[in-house]
Structure 1
Amino acid sequence: MKHFDCAIVGGGMVGAASALSLAELGLTVVVIEKFEPKPFDSSQPFDLRVSAISLASQHLLEQLNAWQQITEWRLCPYKRLGVWEHENAYTEFSCQEIEQPYLGHIVENRLIQLSLWQQLAAHKNITLLCPESLTTFEQSEDEVTLTLSSQTLAAKILVAADGAQSQVRQLSGIGVTGWDYGQDAMLINVETEHVQQDITWQQFFPTGPVAMLPMRGNHASLVWYHQKATLSRLANLSNQQLQEEIKQHFPARLGNVRVIDKGKFSLTRRHANQYQHGRVILLGDAAHTINPLAGQGVNLGFKDVKALQTVVAKAIGENHCWHCPQTLANYEKLRRNDNLIMMTTMDMFYAAFSNSNPVLKSLRNIGLATVNKMPILKSKALAYACGV
């Protein structure tokens, strides 16, 4: 039976980043993943799943030597963020307010994962098992024994980066709290009338916001929040019919679009009751799923990665037992409150803007207009969201 320092179940963006960050500390790491990302070709259409990568997440990807490859493939920087319900309460955040060249980049999730996988394959401390899957595991005082579909191995810690329906979390007996929002979100890849823009925006409606995320060239990713029945109807329309719906319901500033691809997903909030159980650690969506209103999901996951690396590095540097449950508990202390603050903030925005009460509607527009006149408040909120 092979022995490793760390076993990571899940080789997505967060799992791959955690593998590299721990391997950089000199630890031996095994990554267990069912599916390999398909190779990139510049002629491929844009994927539906994209993320707004913050400055803090970019810095982590640079540290892991994955960012340069992503820039050579494709991404789209944005410098401004516009938010409004009515035009007279339009609020815009700019990278100039935090003295940065941009606020972040819109990047396809698969390209982030693929670039990280290139680094996984080249790292001498990392073993990548794919296709492979976890069957079960057992914890002892000193290690975790994993039974996989084709072999058995052992590790000092087990990292769950296997998503919102985490098998590792369930096998660990860690419960979750949360709810479904009763809405879906539709992702729509479009070809745009306007060339690449430097702004991403959201307009709020009682049924949920509509948003535009700029992509390279004459392309964009649209996000449409609405009731499940409405989005089910929209998902069954032809691309031409959907274009007409977009023209009617999205702001005029979008311009004309041609629909290329579309898909929808449910909105849920889940928060693990604990991030650690003995030698098991939860990262990313395995620990928390957030309303995607501000695109913070993967950024929170990358913050988890950085926190775990920091905890382990500190213990190694101080010649302490880095894999003891007492040490690993420091990871949750670093991350739980920060994740909870971001999750609660997004829920407050969601609740406030989905209420059609005229008094509340007036108050939230006054609030947006007021924020636009308070540069110190704007810059502090923006810096926090960007991780700088």
Structure 2
Amino acid sequence: MTQAFDIVVVGAGMVGAALATGLGQSGFSVAVVDRAPPPVFDPQASPDIRVSALSAGSERYLRSIDAWNKILNMRATPYQRLAVWDETRYPLQNLVPRKLIAVEFDATELGAHHLGHIVENPVTQQALWQTAEAEPRVTLIHGHGISSLALSSESATVTLDDGRELTAALVIGADGARSRVRDLAGIGTTRNQYGQQAMVISVRYQGPVEDITWQGFHPSGPRAFLPLHSAGLDFPGESWGSLVWYDAPDELARLKALDDDELMAEIQSAFPSCLPPLTHIDARASFPIARQHARHYFAGRVVLAGDSAHTINPLAGQGVNLGFQDAQALQGVLREARRAGDDLADRKWLDQYEQQRRPANRRMMLTMDVFYHLFSNQVPPVHLLRNLGLGAARALPFARNRVARYAMGIDEELPPVLKQVTARIPGLNQR
């Protein structure tokens, strides 16, 4: 059995489902293939351990494809403030008063209502599945993967593991960091594994829902707090939160082996004093972190988006936001290709997509690497340098806020200060 579509999207995670929805709404016939069953949201269940900080830019994109209100109808937690500071202790730190090295970004100062929302990944994914299912031009195929991919000058043929064949002008790989589509298309990657891993811990704490997310930087890695929703009537006066603890793999293995009471004691001791008092640990998981970048974003009739094309250090939670930016850019390019009457896989258009997204994604990768190495360095002069940098960011609110507006997706234009810095980075705009 063979079915014909304009586009086949492989991967129905957040980025793939968003892409399929947007393309369907743009008039393309789209098939979406994913091995996983449809996501399920239970409003009575504890929050999922997988959460993302969706930026204002991602919110704007999700509104444009009619998914944002569905997210709000489930659950999402807005945050108005974001704070960062250095937790390393050295004698040289006395040269810089501690109150001057904590930087806080406030939505009010940026002329915004909020900086972003903390949302559970399955909530975002279910909202996007609902929008895709409501779009008559989108066909969702779940519970099946792809077994082969054949490309010709006229079309691409995707063969599923049940023998069905899907033909299309273009195949989009949105199937994650271990992309099967990317491998079948012969697109290689560069990969750098970091020495740290990240442990995510879902907790309840005493107090109202916080309006701030923060990161304290330690030499062993940052420790972060992300606010979630109220714990409800079953736990009066309590709220849910998500903690992220970066550290060496051996240390995280030790922490994961502790019982809940022991882990809670470790958290209360190791995290900053501004952490609300914890009442319960619900779940924990750890994962390796790596930077990975596809050598090309397209080959023949295959194009990549999201984690299939790039993964970054999750230090600032920008991964899914970059993926949504890919989706928006690719949708725009493909609409232009159709308007021009061109083949959707025409190199001219796919090259335009790569030229838009590769430098932007690489900028974010390099920025996260700078933070990773700068804040993981225990050499006293480097420690003093980063504290001075934080102090400068605090003392120059206009420049700081311009950068923050860009990072949060409030402004789409790169601020002049970042343009000057990135222009000096060798090879940034290289393919």
TM-score normalised by length of structure 1? 0.98
Contact 2:39–2:125 (Cα < 8 Å) also in 1: no
Q: Structure 2: how far apart are the matches of 1:4 and 1:205? A: 51
CA offsets 1:162-181 (integer angstroms, 9 cap, x no match): 00000111111111112110
Q: Structure 2: how far apart are the matches of 1:125 and 1:193? A: 47
Deviation at 1:119, TM superposition (A): 1.3
Deviation at 1:114, TM superposition (A): 0.4
Q: Equivalent residues in 2 for 1:210-249 (5 A)?
A: 210-217=223-230, 218-249=239-270
Matched, 1:335 2:357: yes
Deviation at 1:322, TM superposition (A): 3.5
- Aligned partner of 2:427 in structure 1 is none
Contact 2:169–2:344 (Cα < 8 Å) also in 1: no
SS of corresponding position for 1:99: coil
Deviation at 1:387, TM superposition (A): 1.4
Contact 2:40–2:122 (Cα < 8 Å) also in 1: no
Q: Structure 2: how far apart are the matches of 1:345 and 1:105? A: 22
SS of corresponding position for 2:170: strand
Letter of the 1:145 counterpart: T
Q: Structure 2: how far apart are the matches of 1:343 and 1:237? A: 33
Q: Structure 2: how far apart are the matches of 1:322 and 1:136? A: 21
Matched, 1:251 2:252: no
Letter of the 2:242 counterpart: S
Letter of the 1:72 counterpart: N
Q: Structure 1: how far apart are the matches of 2:199 and 2:51? A: 13
Q: Equivalent residues in 2 for 1:287-302 (5 A)?
A: 287-302=309-324
- Name whichever of 20-29 and 85-94 sits farther off: 85-94
Q: Structure 2: how far apart are the matches of 1:279 and 1:333? A: 17
Contact 2:334–2:344 (Cα < 8 Å) also in 1: yes
SS of corresponding position for 1:97: coil
- Aligned partner of 2:94 in structure 1 is none
Q: Structure 1: how far apart are the matches of 2:351 and 2:155? A: 16
1:152 is aligned, of 165, 175, 178, to 165
- Aligned partner of 1:267 in structure 2 is 289
Q: Equivalent residues in 2 for 1:1-388 (5 A)?
A: 1-86=2-87, 87-88=98-99, 89-150=101-162, 151-217=164-230, 218-257=239-278, 258-388=280-410
TM-score normalised by length of structure 2? 0.88
Letter of the 1:35 counterpart: A
Deviation at 1:318, TM superposition (A): 3.6
Q: Structure 1: how far apart are the matches of 2:169 and 2:222? A: 45
Deviation at 1:278, TM superposition (A): 1.3
Deviation at 1:321, TM superposition (A): 3.6
Contact 1:279–1:328 (Cα < 8 Å) also in 2: no
SS of corresponding position for 1:346: helix
Contact 1:85–1:205 (Cα < 8 Å) also in 2: yes
Report the number of matched residues.
388
Q: Structure 1: how far apart are the matches of 2:398 and 2:339? A: 38
Structure 2 residue runs of 5 or longer lacking an equivalent are 88-97, 231-238, 411-431
Deviation at 1:260, TM superposition (A): 1.2
Q: Structure 2: how far apart are the matches of 1:190 and 1:124? A: 40
Q: Structure 1: how far apart are the matches of 2:171 and 2:21? A: 15
Contact 1:195–1:219 (Cα < 8 Å) also in 2: no
Contact 1:74–1:107 (Cα < 8 Å) also in 2: yes
Q: Structure 2: how far apart are the matches of 1:323 and 1:165? A: 23
Deviation at 1:255, TM superposition (A): 2.5
CA offsets 1:130-178 (integer angstroms, 9 cap, x no match): 1111001011001101111111111100000000000111111111112
Letter of the 2:177 counterpart: A
Q: Structure 2: how far apart are the matches of 1:160 and 1:237? A: 39
- Name whichever of 44-53 and 87-96 sits farther off: 87-96
Contact 1:165–1:286 (Cα < 8 Å) also in 2: yes
Deviation at 1:323, TM superposition (A): 3.4
Letter of the 2:209 counterpart: Q
Deviation at 1:230, TM superposition (A): 0.2
Contact 1:37–1:110 (Cα < 8 Å) also in 2: no
- Superposed CA RMSD in Å reads 1.1
Q: Structure 2: how far apart are the matches of 1:260 and 1:339? A: 34
Contact 2:38–2:142 (Cα < 8 Å) also in 1: no
Contact 2:156–2:171 (Cα < 8 Å) also in 1: yes
Deviation at 1:72, TM superposition (A): 1.2
